[in-house]
Structure 1
Amino acid sequence: MEAQTTSHKHIPVWPALISCKCPRCRVGKVYEHGAYHLFDNKMLLQCKHCGFVYEKEPGYFYAAMYVGYAFVVAELVTSGVAIGVLTGSQNPWLYVIVMLSLVTLLSPFNYRYSRMLLLYFLTPGIRYRQELS
């Protein structure tokens, strides 16, 4: 009888994070739809590939609000500096309109990737297991 060998492909962290794959197997999806699927940005309860439960405990994703806050601050600072450098305008309404539009347009991105960063980098105990991929 031949020994059965299985080769599990290593999946890099950044492509898996950007495509919103499970942090444990990096194969299963975390969200049902894309980031800009209108009115339905639903997160799956568990990975369909390895069975990993995404919400470790009730209220687990409240910590993602702090990551999302950091995203918004970075977006506001970057857009404020860019407006100042590119236009040289001192009109506060230009800043307000551009910044609020930017934050509104990027809110699905912030929601999704704040949770992904929490799962991938800020939660101890969640590790990639190559044998599951």
Structure 2
Amino acid sequence: MENNKYKLDVWPAFIHAKCPRCRRGDMFANKMYGFQGQVMHKTCSHCGLVYEREPGYFYVAMFVSYAFNVAEMVTIAVAISVLTGSHNPWLYVTIILAFAVILSPFNFRYSRVILLYWLTPGLHYHPEMSQDKTN
């Protein structure tokens, strides 16, 4: 029964970029799309987890972001080909670059979330840390 609860709780926490250890604290200080840029908290406001596990830790997130970009660009190129049948390279370049710019905040945020949730050894969900703090 506990295993099913774990599976149900992980996706809303992941989508809303909550702390991977307690699933309560926010990882980012602002919205994904805005004029302030993306500001990531240094620690979880609920359990105190330090998000940057070591100096330069988030450089690894660039590889995840690269995989996102490749998948998005291939998907968009196939969609352009199927929908328009055009062989004009400038059409492909223009649309693909526009989508790359539009999706860059998404890629930035979720590459870091994926890195913390699934690609960091030893970082797991602790249900006891999800409970409300008592003084």
TM-score for the superposition, normalised by structure 1: 0.91
- The Cα of 1:31 is off from its aligned counterpart by 0.2
Q: What CA distance in whole angstroms lies between the structure 2 residues aligned with 1:40 and 1:107?
A: 11
- Runs of 4 or more, structure 1, over 3 Å off, are none
Deviations 1:73-104 (A, max 9, x none): 00000000000001101111110000000000
| Superposed counterparts of 1:21-100, under 5 Å | 21-100=18-97
RMSD of aligned alpha carbons: 1.2
Structure (1/2) with the larger helix percentage: 2
**Residue matched to 2:121:** 124
The one-letter amino acid of 2:94's match is: I
Deviates more, 1:122-131 or 1:10-19: 10-19
Q: Which has the larger radius of gyration?
A: 1
Code of the residue aligned with 1:113 in structure 2: it is Y
CA deviation string 1:45-84 (max 9, x = no partner): 0000010100010000000000000000000000000000
Identity of aligned residues (%): 58
Q: Amino acid of the residue matched to residue 93 of structure 2?
A: V
Match 1:115 to one of 112, 116, 120: 112
- List alignment gaps of at least 5 residues for structure 2: 131-135
TM-score scaled by length of structure 2: 0.90
Q: In 2, Cα distance between the equivalents of 1:34 and 1:71?
A: 20
Give, in angstroms, the shift of residue 39 of structure 1: 2.9
